Copies of this chain bind each other. A is one copy, B any other.
């Protein structure tokens, strides 16, 4: 039973996964930076990433919208085009939701239900496991820097410079478009998480959404191990420097930039080949970037033979200026 009754009625396996994530105008997106269609796709993708990070398969979604009354209906149509397009790509059904007026910014709150045979928890990483990530770390954060610098991505994937300048050469078009797309329309691996959860040697997993440094620390905390990242394993050739665009160095972005929506895994060395083969079969880039070691929950970066502490630098919704509980 889909939309139209008081609640939707669905069937899942014995284990139901539940996640919810919001996109808030002014915080997570700006209307002048994205088409409504791309935003609809992203609103679903950020939740698909969480279900994939648990080793699950996404099945159903509800979409709860708060919309200012002067919003054009065409914008809402575009949003739903994107939601339905993305839902179709991963065999998910939108079974219900809610619609409310708001005297303020647009809020898109999506909840996704999934199922899993075996769940990938953050707890479970063992000393000796390899730190494995999928996707291109830092690309989404680079895309955000490009948007701030005045670049835009049209719906046919051409890059435009609305700052008035013409600061990039046609040769850079493809790579800039890739960064912008990583931010505006992220593509978390949809089926790989469920496939990896079936591999015995994959001990723990989560998605990378708040930046590698913070997410790896979260995994280390739940697993009570120390994570040691090898800088040389992430930097080249994964991401290029975007210094010229205010995007910072590639390593910086890869370590702390948010919204990567890849998988972060703890993999027993003997299972690495099987994990690599599964990633290849799903067309997903994968990298072995370090080691889980015995020790307290912490993350270290190894660079040119030296080991330094790597404190997290994730986005804070409620910063130091905000009154907090003692």
Contact = CB atoms under 8 A, between A and B. Distances in A.
A101 interface: yes
Interface in A301-326: 317-319, 321-325
A119 interface: yes
- A50, A96, A114, A318 pick with most chain B CB within 10 angstroms: A318
Contacts of A99: 317
Contacts of A122: 4-6
Interface string A42-73: 00000001110110100010101011011011
Contact of A222 (B4, B7, B8, B50): B4
Q: Could you say which of A8, A104, A116, A324 has the most chain B C-beta atoms within 10 Å of its C-beta?
A: A104
A315 B268 CA distance: 58
Contacts of A322: 69-70
Given A319-B69, A324-B73, A19 B8 contact: yes
Contacts of A8: 17-19
Contacts of A51: 6-7
A12 B16 contact: yes
17 contacts: A1-B121, A5-B222, A6-B122, A6-B206, A9-B119, A10-B15, A11-B15, A21-B64, A22-B109, A26-B103, A27-B101, A64-B109, A67-B318, A69-B317, A102-B104, A104-B104, A107-B109
Interface of A: 1, 4-12, 14-22, 24, 26-28, 49-51, 53-54, 56, 60, 62, 64, 66-67, 69-70, 72-73, 77, 95-105, 107, 109, 111-114, 116, 119, 121-122, 206-207, 222, 317-319, 321-325
